[in-house]
Structure 1
Amino acid sequence: MTTQLERPITAPRGPARDIRRRLADPLFNAVAMAILGMALIAVIYPIYFIGIASISEPARVYEGQAWFWPVEVTFDGYDRLLGDPTVWRGLANSVLYTGLATAISVALVVSAGYVLSRRDLPGRRTITFLLVVTLFFDGGIIPRFLVVRDLGLLDTVGAMVLPGAVAVWNVIVARAFFESNLPDELREAAQMDGASDFRFFFRIAVPLSKPLIALMIVIHLVWNWNGFFDALIYLNSPDNYPLQLVLRNILVQSDLSGSANLSGDLENYEQAQRLAELVKYAAIVFATIPLMLVVPFLQRFFTQGALLGAVKN
């Protein structure tokens, strides 16, 4: 016979519990939406401000009048920016460097991740250990520069593509993905049907790793497009500068091409400074638009690829 003390303790039932449950979800949702809204504003507003500042009179921007809407709209900055051949040459270079670097990096990362996921690879743990060591120890800028110089890659496309082609952390992510989503039984079944290792990789592993490939494409695309430091070190000719380095010269020197050709036809210093400010904001917008057009289409695959491989199936 079960006594009163031996009965299991259950959560209270009745109107009080229903009221708490009804109030908990709306309250949590309201707090979460408020936090996400503030985070969204903190991320979106700087981009929005640069956009309206690029078409507003600089004097009104300095006075704080153009904080929500454009004031005294002008497109002089875009006219001068798009009319300078340096910008278009930098854009073409950026497209070339980003496309090649992304393709090479994704191919190497996916291949290395698959190879390291094979349990029958001799020295698998040693190779992984040597790769992980590079995450903690780096030779530095000078040794990398000397290597690039001795290989004859200075001021070439190879200097922008090869030195940072493989990111070890991405290799580890790719390995975890293949370990979680490509069981050994699948490879053994393919081998029984006569598939070689290369055929299994290209016909089975690669098609099944589309989320991973999309994730790697987004990561390397954004990284290579926004990078300018390697170009600053390895490139000497202005004709080879990517768009981000041209943008850097604009921000540092307040000039489109590092010389006086932007404002040489202006009659006074005040007009030159006004035009330089408009060009700087317009350049930022111009350099951001390509990523804003491409990345949203890969966002779905980016989220899926970031989650796959994080949890063992």
Structure 2
Amino acid sequence: MYQLSRGDKVFNGFNMILVGIFTLVILYPLLFVVFASLSDPRHIFDQVLLLWPRGFTLEGYKRVFANGDIWMGFKNAVIYTALGTAVNVIMTTLAAYPLSRRDFRGRNVITMLFTFTMFFSGGLIPTYIVNEGLGIVNTMWVMIIPGAVSVYNMIIMRTYFQQNIPVELEESAFIDGATDIQLLLKVVLPLSTPIIAVMMMFYGVGRWNGYFDAMIYLSDRNLFPLQLILREILVQNQMGDAANQAMMSVNQSEVSALKQSIKYAVVVVSSVPVLLFYPVVSKYFEKGIMIGAIKG
């Protein structure tokens, strides 16, 4: 059995301490928000570090769940994320698979044209004009259809198909009478679970956290996603009509503290879906990000 030398033990111990420090630095902001959402806002900054809830209270969460705007935004965010991620994965697959086929003529030229759009685009105003011409501005579809394909993700998926789907398997499927669509649906996709899961995570997190497109294209408040409602609360200090009416019964001296509690609670509520989704696909994440790193 291999015995670690004294130098190896010191090196490993130093690495563990260093990794532990980095972990605490990264994890503490999340813990701070969680503890602050459960604390009396007047006692959050009594000490330099907040290591546990101070003056435990659920008032912020009560106000959040009583706010109709937040529930409306949460519902819209779920719809945009679910439909948008489905469109993203389908369109990315339909673009990546043909470009991975060695018998597809012109695939290098088409890939180059796709890659060109990663560095050069029309900009915000032409994009807005195009979406307005399509008649999707201020509708739910403006949050789903534009950006249906990420070129970076498409290239990752194409590389996966090239390196993990044997050409011999495709040829044998054709010999058995399979069509291109049957090959994709019955052979390629069942063998591509890791990359599909990774694409779902990439697209899903991006869709859930996105607010800029909603801010530009949506004017109907009933279509606002949760992140735009969260922006109003955090940046513009607006709580919505329902929350403002609820605060009328609160003393003016407590309004500021209550707003702080609501801000922290909203951040936690908006982050929970992503935190629950990540463990589902985490086992595929390492394999997905290592695509193309090793040639074999």
Taking structure 2 as the reference length, the TM-score comes to 0.94
Whichever residue aligns with residue 209 of structure 1, its letter is: S
Displacement of 1:311: 2.4
Aligned with 1:74 (options 52, 57, 64): 57
Displacement of 1:117: 0.6
Displacement of 1:145: 1.2
Displacement of 1:222: 0.7
Identity of aligned residues (%): 39
The reply to whether residue 182 of structure 1 matches residue 172 of structure 2 is: no
Contact 1:113 1:172 in 2 (8 A): yes
Describe the superposition over 1:62-115 as per-residue Cα deviations: whole angstroms up to 9, x where unpaired. Answer: 333661111111111111110111111111101000000111101111221111
Displacement of 1:269: 2.9
Structure 2 segments unaligned to the other structure (5+ residues): none
Of the two, which has the highest radius of gyration? 1
Displacement of 1:116: 0.6
Contact 2:63 2:243 in 1 (8 A): no
Structure 2 CA distance, aligned partners of 1:229 and 1:262?
Answer: 28
3-state SS in 1 of match to 2:235: helix
Aligned with 1:35 (options 18, 31, 45): 18
After TM superposition, list the pairs within 5 Å mapping 1:49-68 onto structure 2. 49-64=32-47, 67-68=50-51
Contact 1:81 1:256 in 2 (8 A): no
Displacement of 1:256: 2.0
Describe the superposition over 1:26-47 as per-residue Cα deviations: whole angstroms up to 9, x where unpaired. Answer: 2232222222212211221101
Taking structure 1 as the reference length, the TM-score comes to 0.89
Contact 2:66 2:243 in 1 (8 A): no
3-state SS in 2 of match to 1:165: coil
Structure 2 CA distance, aligned partners of 1:29 and 1:164?
Answer: 45
Structure 2 CA distance, aligned partners of 1:309 and 1:203?
Answer: 24
Displacement of 1:182: 1.3
Contact 2:92 2:154 in 1 (8 A): yes
Structure 2 CA distance, aligned partners of 1:76 and 1:302?
Answer: 37
Whichever residue aligns with residue 277 of structure 2, its letter is: V
Structure 1 segments unaligned to the other structure (5+ residues): 1-17
Deviates more, 1:303-312 or 1:181-190: 303-312
Q: Which residue of 2 aligns with 1:23?
A: 6
Structure 1 CA distance, aligned partners of 2:119 and 2:230?
Answer: 32
Contact 1:101 1:224 in 2 (8 A): yes
Structure 1 CA distance, aligned partners of 2:152 and 2:143?
Answer: 20
Q: Which residue of 1 aligns with 2:102?
A: 119
Structure number with the bigger relative contact order (C-alpha 8 A, sep ≥ 6) is 2
Aligned with 1:253 (options 225, 232, 236): 236
Whichever residue aligns with residue 158 of structure 1, its letter is: W
Q: Which residue of 2 aligns with 1:5?
A: none
Structure 2 CA distance, aligned partners of 1:221 and 1:242?
Answer: 14
After TM superposition, list the pairs within 5 Å mapping 1:125-274 onto structure 2. 125-257=108-240, 261-262=244-245, 264-274=247-257
Structure 1 CA distance, aligned partners of 2:131 and 2:242?
Answer: 29
Contact 1:117 1:179 in 2 (8 A): yes
